[in-house]
Structure 1
Amino acid sequence: MKRSLLASAIFLAGTTTAAQALASSCADLASLELDGLDIGNTEAQPAQTLPPDPMSAMTGSSPRPVEVGTHCLVEGKIDDREGVNGHYGIRFQMRLPDQWNGRFLFQGGGGMDGFIAPAIGSIPSTGSTATPALSRGYAVVSMDGGHNGQGAEFAKDQQARLDLAYAAIGKVADTAKALIRARYEKAPEHSFFMGCSNGGREAMMAAQRFPTEFDGIVAGNPGFHLSRASLTQARDVQTLMSVAPEGGLSRALTQSDLDVVSSEILAQCDTKDGLEDGIVAAQCDFNPEALRGKITDNKLDALLTVMAGPQGKHGEALYSDWPWDPGINSAGWRAWKLGSEQRPAMNLSIGPASLTKLFMTPPQENMPEQPDFNALASNVSSVGGYFDADEVFLSTFAQRGGKLVIFQGLADPVFSANDIARWYTEASAITPDTARLFMVPGMTHCGGGNASFENFDPLTLLENWKETGEAPQMMPASAPSMPDREMPLCAYPTYAEYQGGDMNNASSFACVER
């Protein structure tokens, strides 16, 4: 009879000779007999330069080569099974450095998962140059969420839905920690989770569903309200198609239209933070009616509908409204909402499948021709009940000293910054000093945007918070498009106000109340 991985690791750790033999060789990890786990590969890796993450566009990780030291590579599968429409199981990759710093990092995925990104723990912001977790000495694991492939057909399988929603997090975390015990003969001192987009949702889920497994979380642009955001994508497509000329969705709003909108936002809001620099750091009560006459009325009305968020028959909010940020004219915003002649909007290429197959019960092949969004909202609430990471009660996570760092692009076209601000306010009222939220002006989804201060390091921020106990009030940041300039990202609801002096120096700003 096979032992569980955890039991095997504890048994071997208690047998000195066996434990030493196990820890001495990477290849020895393959010989363990483990319930539910198939280890397909264990291989000692030399110090090397790993190529850029090929899944960076999905995970938000920095698309840069990574220098790593010698480490043990483990690849395997958990709970291999025959599902209702194919073969399933949770595939994972783990890298265990020879020079271990005593910490473990679970790396989140992206999209609907279905792929294994290299387990290197890069900061999940495409503009970040911060050192990845593996290069810092972390043991890092990544996974595919419980299905192989990026399509949505997996959602016809009940267990595959549950694994992607949250169950795979616990299974992979248990496996990774047991491998750490087997390799290093002790448990990790700290267990962190870090991801963006769906990986950010998984990060928040780690705090909400597994509060005793993780004591530090970084959640970037989290799709924590993903079922309703998916509904919103369909509503946005319908709204913008109503004003699109022949040629499709990409022509609903031209680049010139969006440039006009961005310029008006800057005209009304740029100086609110004390500096006219193309960045809107301060909250601004933008009046969109000032755009009337500058773009056609039908386009403006469609944009107002999109920015207000989807509403039901009686005016009730079905998701969230959106902040007006000048990054609305950036390529990242267009890529999701409008697309181009060369590439359809991601709201069209990704959105319909996730809504109809993943969030609707039972799964549907196509959207209704005349969708009733109230009925759709009611339908997706069933899956959303276990898939959305919107729980605000974090008492166990907080009691154990858990810390949560969230960053969010103000120009994100997929998940509204206003929505995460509401969640943060409600959660912080229950467990103060457990989470910190940092809004990133100009940034779209997991990086990108106009003058976006997306080069930052939330992992170091989290490390310092855990070590000192002092909650961070700001996160240093710079903009890849302005390499000589720095500015703090301030803990919400404060913002960076210019105080005078060199505008390129972060010390010229102070975090002030809105």
Structure 2
Amino acid sequence: MKNRFIFMALLSTALASPALADSCADLGGLTLHNVDITTAATQVAGTLPPDPMSAMTGGSPRPVEAGAHCLVEGKIEDREGVNGRYGIRFQLRMPTEWNGNFLFQGGGGTDGFIAPAIGAVPSTGSTATPALQRGYAVVSMDGGHDGMNLDFTADQQSRLDLAYASIGKVTNTAKTLIRTYYNNAPDQSFFMGCSNGGREAMMAAERFPLEFDGVVAGNPGFHLSSAALGGVWDVTQWAKIAPRDAMHTALTEVELQTVADEINRQCDALDGLEDGIVAAYKQCAFDPEALRGQLSDDKLDALVAVMDGAKDSAGNAVYTGWPWDPGIAAAGWRTWKLGTAEVPALHEVLTVPSTGAVFMTPPQTVPQDPDFAALAAEVADVGGYFDADETYLSTFAQKGGKMVIFQGIADPIFSAHDIARWYEEATQDTGAGFAQLFMVPGMTHCGGGAPAFEDFDPLTILENWTAGGETPTSMPAKSPALPEREMPICAYPLTAAYTGGDVNSLSSYTCAAD
């Protein structure tokens, strides 16, 4: 009788799990519920192309070397939607020399594309070794729709998939394939992304706390519905002083450099070193009135209105304001806020349309001169399931989950003040020890800046922390613009201070309180 029970238990397990694969190609014949495998092929060691969407994802803009691995591609829940074909396309790369771990690579923008699943640290200036090269199995996805237009917002399920649901579905599928291919489940599961991928990383910890052991969230669009209003606000302020079809003329590159120079004049020395980097940004009580006379009054007033953050007609904040950082003169800041003569501002061509299509119900067009109180109320419903702004992560923290967040202080899309607010509230609601926030002076969105210490490695920080190491208090960083320099990016609320000695040496800095 005992043997019969053992046999039945084994039979039950076999029926509940897919058979193990003898080769990568065998995965092509695997039958999984609501999953179509389209590719299952061994890839020889070689060079993988750069991420073509690195400006959106922070992924590697350079080619990446990869060892031999199994490439699996497929689609989850292929279906006919309200206005076309939908489903969640994914790409999974499983290295021959597996380190036992799994990494989910986040997307960017409104997704709609599959970036190469290589797990590059999502700061465009980072030279850190990508996760695939480290031996991780890496998956990427398109968020539940194909294409970067906004037509998908007409389909209810595609909205839910982009918001959060696709994360769970792809995680389940990827872990099943990993278990089938390696005959082992992952030892640790991480999520890493920047921008919308950073929002997805935070969503992974908030909505799927049992699935992930740690996440890296870069410049996360966690408060996306309100940040979108911030982009709409920017466009309306510039439109007061420049034509909408020539918004780049609101402030010239020379004028923005004038602003950056004034920020440095007032705040650069606060960290102990005059070098064009305002590391002591929390001490910087910048007075924009010092620019009166350097900029025309209308231009300065528009800039101050933008930097103070979106407000309704009663003066109530709709989205938070922005730190004054010399990265304001960087190309990445202009790309989003103002654009150029050749390329319009991304807020104008992406943020404004996305606000109406993604966050308004039903999808609609944002008025050129909106009532911001009404607009804030309009986007709140969708923001309720789209924003990754939960501050009570008790399950994630209790099981030992760790969160490493990095944020460019000069980010023109998602305010550094906003993520600092979330971090303080999450630390109060969940407790200390599960998340660390690293503010990067001069950095714009997912890399870039003027100059910025954007070459860092938060994945190694996360690996060491989840392995039982001490809570990280700093992250070594270099600047592509200053190749000899190295300094720490300090864990919030600390900032880097120069203590003397070789300015290029990490040991010449300490992490100090205000």
Instruction: Name the TM tier (shorter chain).
Output: over 0.9
> What RMSD, in angstroms, separates the aligned Cα atoms of the two structures?
1.6
Match of residue 210, structure 1, among 191, 202, 208: 208
Q: Give the Cα–Cα distance (whole angstroms) in 2 for the partners of residues 485 and 310 of structure 1.
A: 37
Q: Please state how far the C-alpha of 1:10 moved relative to its aligned partner.
A: 5.8
Q: Please state how far the C-alpha of 1:64 moved relative to its aligned partner.
A: 1.3
Q: Which runs of structure 2 are paired with 1:237-386 in the superposition (5 Å)?
A: 237-244=235-242, 248-282=246-280, 283=282, 284-364=284-364, 366-386=365-385
In the alignment, what sits opposite 2:387? 388
Query: Residues 28 and 37 of structure 2 are in contact (CA less than 8 Å); yes or no, is this contact kept in structure 1?
Result: yes
Identity %: 64
In the alignment, what sits opposite 1:201? 199
* AA of the residue aligned to 1:263: D
Match of residue 56, structure 1, among 43, 54, 76: 54
The more displaced of 106-115 and 371-380 is 371-380
Q: Which runs of structure 2 are paired with 1:163-242 in the superposition (5 Å)?
A: 163-242=161-240
Q: Which runs of structure 2 are paired with 1:70-219 in the superposition (5 Å)?
A: 70-219=68-217
Q: Give the Cα–Cα distance (whole angstroms) in 2 for the partners of residues 236 and 451 of structure 1.
A: 24
In the alignment, what sits opposite 1:474? 474
Q: Give the Cα–Cα distance (whole angstroms) in 1 for the partners of residues 330 and 211 of structure 2.
A: 39
Q: Give the Cα–Cα distance (whole angstroms) in 2 for the partners of residues 74 and 305 of structure 1.
A: 49
Q: Please state how far the C-alpha of 1:245 moved relative to its aligned partner.
A: 5.9
| Cα deviation 1:322-378 (Å, max 9, x = unaligned) | 0000010111100100000000000111112211111101111x2224311111100
Query: Residues 404 and 458 of structure 2 are in contact (CA less than 8 Å); yes or no, is this contact kept in structure 1?
Result: yes
* AA of the residue aligned to 1:72: C
The more displaced of 64-73 and 236-245 is 236-245
In the alignment, what sits opposite 2:14? 11
Q: Give the Cα–Cα distance (whole angstroms) in 1 for the partners of residues 237 and 485 of structure 2.
A: 39
Change (3 A) 1:266 1:460: same
The more displaced of 193-202 and 255-264 is 255-264
Please state if 1:421 is matched with 2:424: no
| Cα deviation 1:164-221 (Å, max 9, x = unaligned) | 0000000000000111110111110100000000000000000000000001100000
Query: Residues 232 and 352 of structure 2 are in contact (CA less than 8 Å); yes or no, is this contact kept in structure 1?
Result: yes
Change (3 A) 1:69 1:247: closer
| Cα deviation 1:137-180 (Å, max 9, x = unaligned) | 00000000000000111011010000000000000000001111
Unaligned runs of 5+ in 1: 1-6
Query: Residues 9 and 181 of structure 1 are in contact (CA less than 8 Å); yes or no, is this contact kept in structure 2?
Result: no
Q: Which runs of structure 2 are paired with 1:400-415 in the superposition (5 Å)?
A: 400-415=399-414
Q: Give the Cα–Cα distance (whole angstroms) in 2 for the partners of residues 76 and 47 of structure 1.
A: 22
Q: Give the Cα–Cα distance (whole angstroms) in 2 for the partners of residues 248 and 46 of structure 1.
A: 49
Unaligned runs of 5+ in 2: 1-9
Query: Residues 313 and 371 of structure 2 are in contact (CA less than 8 Å); yes or no, is this contact kept in structure 1?
Result: no
Q: Please state how far the C-alpha of 1:468 moved relative to its aligned partner.
A: 2.5
Q: Give the Cα–Cα distance (whole angstroms) in 2 for the partners of residues 354 and 9 of structure 1.
A: 48
| Cα deviation 1:479-508 (Å, max 9, x = unaligned) | 001111100000000011000000000110
Query: Residues 75 and 92 of structure 1 are in contact (CA less than 8 Å); yes or no, is this contact kept in structure 2?
Result: yes
Q: Which secondary structure state, in structure 1, belongs to the residue aligned with residue 148 of structure 2?
A: coil
Q: Please state how far the C-alpha of 1:313 moved relative to its aligned partner.
A: 2.4
Q: Give the Cα–Cα distance (whole angstroms) in 1 for the partners of residues 11 and 336 of structure 2.
A: 47
In the alignment, what sits opposite 1:494? 494
Q: Give the Cα–Cα distance (whole angstroms) in 1 for the partners of residues 445 and 451 of structure 2.
A: 14
* AA of the residue aligned to 1:78: I
Q: Please state how far the C-alpha of 1:315 moved relative to its aligned partner.
A: 1.8
Q: Please state how far the C-alpha of 1:30 moved relative to its aligned partner.
A: 1.2
Change (3 A) 1:212 1:513: same
* AA of the residue aligned to 1:474: S
The more displaced of 368-377 and 126-135 is 368-377
Number of equivalent positions:
502
Query: Residues 10 and 181 of structure 1 are in contact (CA less than 8 Å); yes or no, is this contact kept in structure 2?
Result: no
Q: Give the Cα–Cα distance (whole angstroms) in 2 for the partners of residues 96 and 339 of structure 1.
A: 40
Q: Please state how far the C-alpha of 1:381 moved relative to its aligned partner.
A: 0.3
